[in-house]
Structure 1
């Protein structure tokens, strides 16, 4: 590629011209010393292929002690790093700086490199239609404001991703991203007519709270109580089933192993009598648990199905108490609630 061949051919020339005459007398001796160190470090990084770091060193050197030779080295670094627009602009700066300082050799070299690079530039066109140019509109490329005179012009840019943003008073902000390929040509981005932003007063309005009550919910507290009663009913039924099975087991053992029957109780031995009595106790507990579970189930269904869709001010008191029998002869379930 012609540009790459020119880069290689000009490398030796740039190195030979690295000690350039200073175009400004402002830098101090310390500034010049620091600039010299940064220049050498920058050129070393460029030779190693660390272009981003090398360019940053050379740019810092140029800021401390502006020199046409440093500008040439910086432009060369930009080109090697693929930042063609930055390289082209820096070659042009170097040409003007050297020409102003009367340095014909550097001026000619910088102009030659800029001329070789210009046909290879990637360009970006940002169009803003007249109807989209509302009062106060500001368009930015990579966070930097663009002058309205640049709208519609094919501006050289470095290849890569660019962010285009537009904003105006009373309008919704707009942004897009565009990827510019590293090859000659141009891409176009069109800024649309910005949409109106909602009025601040409308967005700021909110309901005024009149009490500390929690907001209404489609799931009311009464329904929650209904579910709790349903859970209690399941527990009661489970308890009844457990004690019912135990009752059957004790009666079977008393009948089969100790000769106890309902028709002839005297045949029971002492152990059989005790098993028979225990069976009566567990049967009572089972009956009470089943009854309590059934009652809780019916109550829970009624509470759940009659609940309103929401409770403006939930106020629920629920007390559930399962009372085991004091002497294993009875059990009770107590429920109390208000809505």
Structure 2
């Protein structure tokens, strides 16, 4: 403790001797026993302050200040708040002490306490962090906002306000929804938190439970487009169309192979496909040997796909007519497929 603060401490302990210099109106209502108790509280509070026990010191000093309202006691109470990190309360306490009216005959100790409080207020005000809370896509006057559990008046929504340094929890409640944000603010910093209610989705009114014995309405069928039912039907039609295309391809290649085989027989080839070695027979025999390998796999694959598609279509649950997926197969001598809207 420096040389200047020690006289202030002594003055707080001996406040009872100078009560008439601090607040004459209140001094008239204080009896000697109360003055003595206030002096003892101030002395205990200052002793705790010297030992760094700021919370306990603040309690003693606040009790003494309620009785004597001396600037020296108020100054040390503000210093306790500052040491505890309660900068907003400390700055307001400094400001209150700095504005305390003193008579012309007030002691130099009291005058020094008032002056020190004013200087401390100016220094501390720059250190206090500030926080603004804004509301997006909701009526800001209807949103209930709290900072660390304390309500924020509607007039302060969007306004930067002082807060103590450290961790803070901001909550906004509106239309049955709560948005929670956390922020950490060191000294001399400012921040803005936006509570965007659009991000939480539109509010949904709860459905009341059905009355006892009332029939329960059936659930609506799943919407078309991407549901398991539509997927099964679509896959069924695709399999049918692909299988039909395989069967058509097998039939066409079988017909071509049969025609080539007849030509080879006319050119002198036997049933064992032993042909005379002539240019005509060599060309047709090569083509025949290539084409004759296609029909069997095409018939097998086409039959399996078509059968699987039919099974999918028959096992798919029926749905009411709607603007859902529609499809129909097509088959022609040139190919096959499926056309529709899925």
Length-normalised TM-score, structure 1:
0.50
Length-normalised TM-score, structure 2:
0.49
